[in-house]
A and B are shown apart, each in its own frame.
Chain A
Amino acid sequence: MTVSFTGQAYRQRLEAALCDGWRFAGLHATGGGSQVHVLLTDREAGHRLETVTVDADASVQSIVDLVPAAGWDEREAHDQYGIGFAGHQPLRPLVDHDPDLVRWTVPVRGHDAYQIAVGPIHAGIIESGHFRFHVVGDRILHLDARLFYKHRGLEKAAEGAALEDGLAFAARACAACAVTNSVAYAHACEHALGLTSTAELARVRTVLLELERTWNHLNDISQICAGVGLAAGTTRFAALTERARRLNAALTGHRYLFGNIHVGGSNLNITTDQIRSTRAELSALQAEAATAWRELMFNSSFQDRLPDIGVVTFNDAVRLGAVGPAARASGLAHDLRSASPRLAYDGFEPAVPNRAAGDVQARLEQRGLELWQTFAILEQLLDRAIEPAAALPGNHPTPIGVGQVESPRGATTCIVEHNRHHIARLRLRTGSYANWPVVAHAATENLLPDFPLINKSFELCYACADR
């Protein structure tokens, strides 16, 4: 459903929608900056796109006071389309890198307050991004995260491409979330083309999504151990991550499952023999992960480092629009998998830890809970050979398609606006994009040496956010 409004009416409609339980899922500009769209979703996978026309003076009302989660979206629309957002003050540059420090950082003043600049190049194998810590002693007062060093203009570059060719732009935005981003893109295209999923297509895509989640969650646990400095845990889980990637290669021919998602169907063939060996390997992987996980749970010097670090309260998670394991670790039981009619997640219930304190400990526990869920889903779905499948016509085609998929890092939304099957506008809002402002918030009031641990407990992609 698309409804167009101007001025104050847009804010009022949005406010009413939020009161009715609709959730913000992204804001983006189209038509060379003549329109701004806000995507809202409900719990039953329903969505609506509110459209507001940009004024003659290239400005619209800001919604950032109603939805703080729209902060980055508005800054991005300003940088890329020159749209002003009245009421969003100061509208700091996000994608644009202004050399003037005062323009892009939050002013922090006071006795002994100083800044520490880290990045964009980091002291390890880490993606590029800049963090500017405002600290007193070791205490972080505020963190300005400046990303988009890796901005490649993928959304813009995709414009004009045929829908099937546009897949590459979504897939190669990020290797760690390649399946999620591809499926979100394919769903958006299929929605636009009026295609519906079939049981077999839903199954193969769900299998690929959960295989992606398996290696990502194993890697996240390894990284949290690295954040504490527990080398044995880091190495053990890195070895398990490697096994999961080898399994991906054995099953689909690619360690990151590249090239297995297509718009309108799937070509993947997995024989009964492959299913049998995959089930055996997954079961061995699960057993070994469970043993290693128990070691982490009972390692007191490791566990001592986790509670009360990088806390995101339930209210902050809601307010800032946190998604994924990070949001669920704060008690926000939202998971797109519980309402994904195009995927095979029947009966899925989001997991939330007993102690949903929103700290590093809760985020670690969340990874464990989700990992066991994922192994269970895979066991259930890998019960027979996988054969090529195609989406079926059945719905009305629309000019704008929306696809939403739960990535290992949270809700990922892809919006495709097309003109005779060629992309007019592509928007990819990933779980990492939604959660980066939450990381900056979580770091506040913590000790600077704890930042790597806090950051790794979210384990977000830079590439996904930067695009």
Chain B
Amino acid sequence: MLTLLRDLRQLRRQLALPAPSRGRSLAIRHVDAGSCNGCEHELTVTSSPYYDLERYGLGIVASPRHADVLLVTGPVTTRMHTPLLTAYAAMPEPRLVAALGDCALGCNLLGTPENVLGAISTALPIDIRIPGCPPTPETIATELLTFIDAKSSGEAARHR
């Protein structure tokens, strides 16, 4: 156990990720609407020591009731359409939707029309677009942080 912790500490030192500078956070709820599992694997490693998105207040939460952002992967399949809308309806407002990956954005969708409804935009309004097949953890991090920054500077401008 001590060796595991020691090796992790060494890894963190070696990576020397920049310190978080933002005083803001986004609570993210992930919904898989029909992905190939690639976006899920990449999203999972954003919390590994190599990216550690929690430093920036970006955390995955266990319920849509706790979430600011619904992060959706995959095209919307016929069978996931209703669960996706149910999760969105359970979110408190204001609420945002992020489309993660090319399928979610409607690029090169594979499947039959009776099983695949289309991009996430066919079901929900999209606020954040994260392209890639799958998007790398860097892309996921950059897009989410850029969004927070834009939001913060927008609000700062309004308060001035």
Contacts and interface: CB of A to CB of B under 8 A. Distances in A.
Contact of B31 (A121, A152, A239, A291): A121
B153 interface: no
Contacts of B30: 124-125
B115 A153 contact: yes
A292 B31 contact: no
Interface stretch (B17-25, B45-53, B119-127, B141-149): B45-53
A66 interface: no
Contacts of B1: 232, 295, 299
B116 interface: yes
Interface stretch (A143-151, A307-315, A324-332, A340-348): A143-151
Interface string B22-42: 000000001111111111111
A150 B74 CA distance: 9
Contacts of A175: 36-39, 41, 134
Contacts of A464: 37
B54 to A, nearest CB: 12
Contacts of B133: 258
- Give the interface size class of chain B: 35 or more
B37 A461 contact: yes
A126 B134 contact: no
Nearest to A215: B41
Nearest to B62: A123
A152 B115 contact: yes
A288 B7 contact: yes
Contacts of A154: 110-111
A174 interface: yes
A172 B134 CA distance: 11
B34 A125 contact: no
Interface in B35-88: 35-45, 47-50, 60, 62-63, 74-75, 77, 79-80, 83, 87
A465 to B, nearest CB: 11
Interface of B: 1, 3-5, 7-8, 11, 30-45, 47-50, 60, 62-63, 74-75, 77, 79-80, 83, 87, 110-112, 114-116, 133-134, 136-137
